[in-house]
Chains A and B, each alone.
Chain A
Amino acid sequence: MSAILAGTLLLLGAFFVLVSAIGILRFPDLYMRMHGATKAGTLGAGLILLGASVLFGTLAVTVKAMTVFVFLLLTAPVAAHVLGRAAHHDDVPKWDRTGVDELEGRYDRGNPEHDGPAGMTPKG
């Protein structure tokens, strides 16, 4: 019974990792690819880890799997955030079907005092 459950979880996890790999190949620009790359680390890896802990069923494996998952949740968005931010900073081309860009022109480039973009109401 638990073998069937574990197998299902492992297959589902592998499916989501495969889908995000396809997404990285298919998506047209860096930002869209980041969507694919970060999500593999969450649902896909999470399901695989859950499947592993169901399969072994011991506390040692479960604790390790949960620790791995927590670190994935902590690190994946930070990496995605830094990459996306650097890309926008360096004007990496966006897909031509991209709609509004409300971040455009908010950086004060060449001024080391300002590290982040301006807010909604630019201060005079």
Chain B
Amino acid sequence: MTLLGLHLVLTLLWAMATGSLGLVNLFVGFVVGGGVLHFAGPALGDPRYGIRALRIVGLTLFFFRELIVSSVRVAIDVLRPRLTMTPALIAVPLDLKHDAAITLLANMVSLTPGTLSIDVAEDRSCLYVHAMYGEDPDAVRRSIKHDFERRIQEVFR
């Protein structure tokens, strides 16, 4: 993860060297910096950094898509005359090991509407989640594990 900090420094250096702090130029700097780090990766102890950087971007984009989709869903239900959902508190088994990765997962779960992380088991074996649409606990488990946890795991590996 320390290479990510270096990546941001490289992006800023690119912006300073080219003399423009515009968003487009920052993006170009990010891409160039990612390419440099990808080829310098083996010497810096992370041979696959370029791929991981792409996955970090992918995770961010996925998170915003999920945020919009589920916000709209919750908004529709708030405005409906009758509340028809079945909330539930669900234990989601965790494969993540790092505390930082679990924190990231819990925060993303909380930020996407419809799910709220309540607590983490003491032995880090599962995350307890309050789901607004908990009719099918297995579906909630599957979507958190498949959508969020898998992507976070790929970033942290």
Contact = CB atoms under 8 A, between A and B. Distances in A.
Interface of A: 15-16, 19-20, 22-23, 26-29, 31-32, 34-36, 38-39, 42-43, 59, 62, 73-74, 76-78, 80-81, 84-85, 88, 94-95, 97-104, 106, 114-121, 123
**Secondary structure at chain A's binding surface: helix, strand, loop or mixed?**
helix
A35 B89 CA distance: 13
Contacts of B124: 119
Contacts of B79: 19, 22
Given A29-B87, A62-B23, 10 more contacts: A15-B75, A22-B78, A32-B132, A43-B71, A77-B107, A100-B89, A100-B90, A116-B122, A117-B128, A118-B122
Contacts of B86: 97-99
Contacts of A15: 75
Given A43-B68, A97-B87, A35 B119 contact: no
Nearest to A85: B119
Interface string B4-35: 00000000000000000111000000000000
27 contacts: A23-B74, A31-B130, A34-B116, A36-B74, A38-B110, A38-B111, A39-B111, A42-B71, A42-B111, A43-B67, A59-B22, A62-B23, A74-B107, A85-B119, A88-B118, A99-B88, A99-B137, A100-B137, A104-B89, A106-B128, A116-B119, A116-B121, A117-B122, A119-B122, A119-B124, A119-B125, A121-B125
Contacts of B123: 118-119, 123
Contact of B83 (A28, A85, A102, A114): A28
B41 interface: no
Interface in B105-147: 106-107, 110-111, 113-114, 116-126, 128, 130, 132, 134-135, 137
Contacts of A31: 87, 116, 118, 130
B87 A81 contact: no
Contact of A100 (B23, B118, B132, B134): B134
Interface string B70-84: 010011001100010
